[in-house]
Structure 1
Amino acid sequence: MKYLVPALAGLALVACQGETTDTAADAPFVPDVSSTNIEAHIRFLASDYMQGRDAGSDGYEIAANYVASQMRLLGLEPAGQDGGYFADVPMQDVTADADYNQFTLDGETFAHGNSVMVSTNPSVLEAEVTGELVFVGYGISAANRGHDDYEGLDVEGKIVVVMGGVPGEVFEGLSEERAHHGSSTTKRNVAAAHGAIGMIGLTSWSDERLAGIVENFGSRPSTRLTVATGPSGYDQVQVSANTSAELSARLFEGAEMSLEEVQAAMEADEPTYPRFELPHTVTMRQRTLSEPFTDPNVVGMIRGTDPELADEYVVLTAHLDHIGHIDDDMRASGACRSSDDEDAICNGAVDNASGVSIMLETARTFLEEGAPRRSVVFVALAAEEKGLLGSEHYARNPTVPADQIVANVNLDMPVIVYDFADVVAFGANHSNLGPIATRAAARLGIAVSEDPLPEQSLFVRSDHYNFVRQGVPSLFLMTGFSSPDPRWDEGEGFMGFLNTHYHTQTDQLDGELEVLFDQGAKFANINYMIAREIADSDELPAWNEDSFFGNLFGQDAE
């Protein structure tokens, strides 16, 4: 109850939007979002009362109620469950049962932490599998690149042995495809599609390093979706594990090639990719300890006015959660880089109170300028920091008809700490949303730049990617790297924030970090114009013919 007073105070801070006029009758409309409103939202959501908005915390619940209250004040239609603004995300904190988990190779048993790390399974909480081994190289099926590690192999009912990473020669210059195929989720799903019952990932870790990783991290809970919404690959590949370098080499004893020979072939100037059966049988068992909980996504909607388009939905998203408090476990894991032992709260002003604030003010501008032709859904997402869980659940279980969602525009950590001169629209090269983003930014004299950090694979690391996986053309907006501010030459700007303040206690207001609310308003203006054109356009959002993700996940994908 003690949080109610500051919550109401936060509501009172939000100012009314001022009226705007065009400088010329024929000039295209440019909105004028209030920087005061942006500031009010950020000040509340990034206050110490939220305690860092961690998933499953009271602070996140307070923040969710704030957003729902703002949606109601604005006049957004409730679009969650049971006629309200909340749509629950069923989650669980999962932990490996170290005393139960084990790995047996040809009759010799290795305990969890002794040369092997057995993974949790959020979908099948206890399982044991026994099978012959098949080495499947990198475990990648990429027909569009002429590379299929499963071609000619029968892995039905067997345990696949997988090398980490991707073949560099195949994916050279293709950072987004590299990230997709290199993820453990994709490799697990591919193994499952071929009928494997287990998966072993080879590592270069020594026995000692693996034991240390299990000791330091293996006993800590991680957050996953519950059984009902978990990835399907877990249901088929029920046990997976990572083996140390020493145990990995033993799996190849007696085979047609040693592990050392395989690695040399894969890393040669003209690489080859051996794949073959291994003359061993392995039994793996896992038990996953689960503590269920729920957090809400917060969902509001503006109903479209066009009778022919109103049942099509443009979804705008921004994650509401952050990482909570600093503790010894977080320091050890690297989840937060502690910068102040006295202040334990990671407030997340930029990440991502700024994105939620901009989304709310985008909704306000829609309402002030008149409802769009298509319906627009606004979702403040839960548990992004835990692995994009709120968006994964919503994209699979939306509160509007899934086949009528035509586009997603996502806001994650607009770094409004410098005067930005460009934006990056991840996904712009994959669909006809790209030209829309370019036109919107140009109205404010802002350029749209290509991905400045391709090695970071940011396209697959934010909430929009879960909509992409459901076949929905999507954009993820980020402030760019150019600025008229001369401090940029001194290391300020995007990388300055990333290297100094990201996931630390200094991502807060009224400290050493200066958050520029006028830049938040500028970013909101661009976001609104993008969303408005998508919602009002005669043209339906569509994937480009050459889009890897469109061909993989789009409606016409096999």
Structure 2
Amino acid sequence: MRLDRRFFLVCSFFFLIPGPAPAAQGSPAEISSDEIRADIGFLSDDLLEGRDAGTRGYDLAARYVAARFEALGLRQAVRDSWYQSVPLVVTELDKRMTSSLTIGGRRFENGGDIIISAFGTEPRQTVEAQAVFVGFGVASAREKIDDYAGLDLKGKFAVALSGAPAGLPSEIAAHLAAEKAAAAQAAGAIGLITIPSESLLTRTPWARLRDRATGPAVGWVGADGRSFSRTPGIVATAYATATAADALLAGSGASLAAIRKQAAKRRPLRGFPLRPIVRLERNAAVSTAASSNVLAMLQGSDPQLADEYVLLMAHLDHLGMRKDAKGLPRIYNGAMDNAAGVATMLAVAKAFAQDGRRPRRSILFAAVTAEEDGLIGSQFLAKHPVTPPGGRVVAVINLDMPILTYDFQDLIAFGAEHSTLGPIVQRAAEASGIALSPDPLPDEGLFTRSDHYRFVQEGIPAVFLMTGFGGSGRQEFQKFLKTDYHQPSDRINLPFHWNAATRFAYVNYAIARDVANADHAPQWYSGDFFGDEFAPEAQKATKR
């Protein structure tokens, strides 16, 4: 039998994975920068073709992580398997037929002043209805905001300006902006059309929004055989700008320029009915793909606390292969995003496995799929817990794209201020000689944009660490975002600072161990927005 040389390369990696070395009882955990480098090197190798969910490259990466878990002597979290199957459904626009939005009889083709992305699982879709402008289209009883008050949305399109009203804390604003479809559904709408604000177009030009929308939409298939959706009542979505937005507002006495100007001046936006009838036509191709989360656990030592699990997670997928401007395939290796996060998780897992002092609570390790497609694997895991009967996840520590090209002086701990995880993070950072800094990118709403947020939505406190902007941090961080983020250049040959990688792993290990050994599970703070929103009945702590 003739075998591809790549087969031997994969096998050599798996056979060379070391088994767990014995650790002296009570000895401090050891974390090796060489092993972190080796893990990143393999996971970002061209052989894995960018680890896109549902592809052979991702499956090779998953097999590698499973082999590492097994070598560490961890337990399987799923019966007789290291894998939690995640059935994916993939919807792509049919390039043979043009999708369109017809507004008051005027037809706008996709890719001009309107953007229609792949959506749902229907190959052919036509939705026609009246429309209502709903300001920012957000609603929150806690924040005393309801852009739908006094408006009749039943069976209609909601037309909303992107973003959120001025004056809200950045993470709350990001949450409300991300929940517009839910707010529209609650008001009775069947569709959502978003008009980009000036601030959005400044950050993300229309051409880039359009390019992003050309990709497939990925979801997971539920037990009923249908693609899961938190907003099944919203059956059609689109973006509209320039002439298309003006067509929506025709005859209302308002204009796109006036609405954007009002929003830029931080003034409230009032809603009103729109005159034109809107007709959305979308043509798509629907397929399925198989993927998996890779899971392992370390059993806790305290019989009273072992059914409480601390989840350490990192997304294993990246962008796969894409064609460049010349039509040639390019591999998006994702060394920093997120081979570095997975390698950090594996280093922490090894530290726990070899420490000799099992934590009181159990630890669940998860390398999840399809984060780049919309936090799909983490949502599936949050909706399909693998803890034994009576067990529950009590805290989440997420490892996503640590920028490890510099010797960081500080860390940003997203989510720490919302729960009693905050003091634990503070102690771990101080013990490592690392400062904690406030969010330097509040407009990005990063707390709501990574995998841990799927567990926040289930009422579970979470934290997500990012290397900070102290010293050369801002320059190095912004350099990566500008030149390497989601680019083929995100490779192992970036100037990794391997001592920084070790320090990052150590502080996350210290946080996880302190959470696992604490007398009480983390609690949301009393009066915190996310605790009130997602865990209203849970016992709360007083913030000191």
Smaller-chain TM-score range? 0.7 to 0.9
Q: Structure 1 287/377 Cα, relative in aligned 2: closer, same or farther at 3 Å?
A: same
- State the alpha-carbon separation in 2 of the partners of residues 122 and 252 from structure 1: 27
What is the aligned partner in structure 1 of residue 202 from structure 2?
none
Q: Which string of whole-angstrom CA distances, capped at 9 and with x for unpartnered residues, describes residues 256-303 of structure 1?
A: 54555544544457x242212223333333343212102111000112
Moved more, 288-297 or 45-54: 45-54
What is the aligned partner in structure 2 of residue 299 from structure 1?
295
Shift of 1:126: 4.3
Q: Are 1:305 and 1:373, in contact at CA under 8 Å, matched by a contact in 2?
A: yes
Shift of 1:380: 0.5
- The root-mean-square deviation of aligned C-alpha atoms, in Å, is 3.2
Moved more, 286-295 or 471-480: 286-295
Q: Are 1:239 and 1:285, in contact at CA under 8 Å, matched by a contact in 2?
A: no
Pairing partner for 1:41 from 24, 39, 42 = 39
Shift of 1:196: 0.8
Q: Are 1:15 and 1:37, in contact at CA under 8 Å, matched by a contact in 2?
A: no
What is the aligned partner in structure 1 of residue 383 from structure 2?
396
Q: Which string of whole-angstrom CA distances, capped at 9 and with x for unpartnered residues, describes residues 419-475 of structure 1?
A: 222222111111100111111122221222222222322212211111111111001
Q: Are 1:50 and 1:62, in contact at CA under 8 Å, matched by a contact in 2?
A: yes
Pairing partner for 1:141 from 121, 128, 139 = 139
Q: Structure 1 495/120 Cα, relative in aligned 2: closer, same or farther at 3 Å?
A: closer
Q: Does 1:87 pair with 2:84?
A: yes
What is the aligned partner in structure 2 of residue 199 from structure 1?
192
- State the alpha-carbon separation in 2 of the partners of residues 506 and 106 from structure 1: 46
- State the alpha-carbon separation in 1 of the partners of residues 513 and 189 from structure 2: 46
Unmatched runs of 5 consecutive residues or more in structure 1: 23-28, 333-340
Q: Are 1:313 and 1:374, in contact at CA under 8 Å, matched by a contact in 2?
A: yes
Q: Does 1:311 pair with 2:304?
A: no
Shift of 1:321: 1.6
Q: Which string of whole-angstrom CA distances, capped at 9 and with x for unpartnered residues, describes residues 359-407 of structure 1?
A: 1121122122232222111000112222222212212222226982111
- State the alpha-carbon separation in 1 of the partners of residues 143 and 45 from structure 2: 49
Q: Are 2:89 and 2:218, in contact at CA under 8 Å, matched by a contact in 1?
A: yes
Shift of 1:78: 0.9
What is the aligned partner in structure 2 of residue 387 from structure 1?
374
Q: Does 1:550 pair with 2:538?
A: no
Q: Does 1:246 pair with 2:243?
A: yes
Q: How many residues align?
A: 523
SS of corresponding position for 1:236: coil
Q: Are 2:123 and 2:283, in contact at CA under 8 Å, matched by a contact in 1?
A: yes
AA partner of residue 54 (structure 1):
D
Q: Structure 1 504/113 Cα, relative in aligned 2: closer, same or farther at 3 Å?
A: closer
Q: Are 1:46 and 1:353, in contact at CA under 8 Å, matched by a contact in 2?
A: yes
- State the alpha-carbon separation in 2 of the partners of residues 272 and 492 from structure 1: 36
TM-score by length of 1: 0.84
Shift of 1:110: 4.5
Q: Are 1:20 and 1:32, in contact at CA under 8 Å, matched by a contact in 2?
A: no
Pairing partner for 2:490 from 480, 496, 507 = 507
What is the aligned partner in structure 2 of residue 432 from structure 1?
420
SS of corresponding position for 1:145: coil
Q: Are 1:32 and 1:521, in contact at CA under 8 Å, matched by a contact in 2?
A: no
Q: Are 1:123 and 1:230, in contact at CA under 8 Å, matched by a contact in 2?
A: no
Unmatched runs of 5 consecutive residues or more in structure 2: 199-204, 539-544
Q: Are 2:20 and 2:72, in contact at CA under 8 Å, matched by a contact in 1?
A: no
Moved more, 458-467 or 4-13: 4-13
- State the alpha-carbon separation in 2 of the partners of residues 518 and 119 from structure 1: 43
What is the aligned partner in structure 2 of residue 356 from structure 1?
342
Q: Structure 1 201/40 Cα, relative in aligned 2: closer, same or farther at 3 Å?
A: closer
Q: Does 1:408 pair with 2:396?
A: yes
Q: Are 1:113 and 1:214, in contact at CA under 8 Å, matched by a contact in 2?
A: no
Identical positions, percent: 37
- State the alpha-carbon separation in 2 of the partners of residues 45 and 216 from structure 1: 27
Q: Are 2:48 and 2:58, in contact at CA under 8 Å, matched by a contact in 1?
A: yes
Moved more, 127-136 or 522-531: 127-136
Moved more, 221-230 or 290-299: 221-230
Q: Structure 1 286/531 Cα, relative in aligned 2: closer, same or farther at 3 Å?
A: same
Q: Structure 1 249/416 Cα, relative in aligned 2: closer, same or farther at 3 Å?
A: closer
AA partner of residue 481 (structure 2):
L
Alignment of 1:126-205 (within 5 A): 126-168=124-166, 170-171=167-168, 174-183=169-178, 186-203=179-196
Shift of 1:215: 8.5
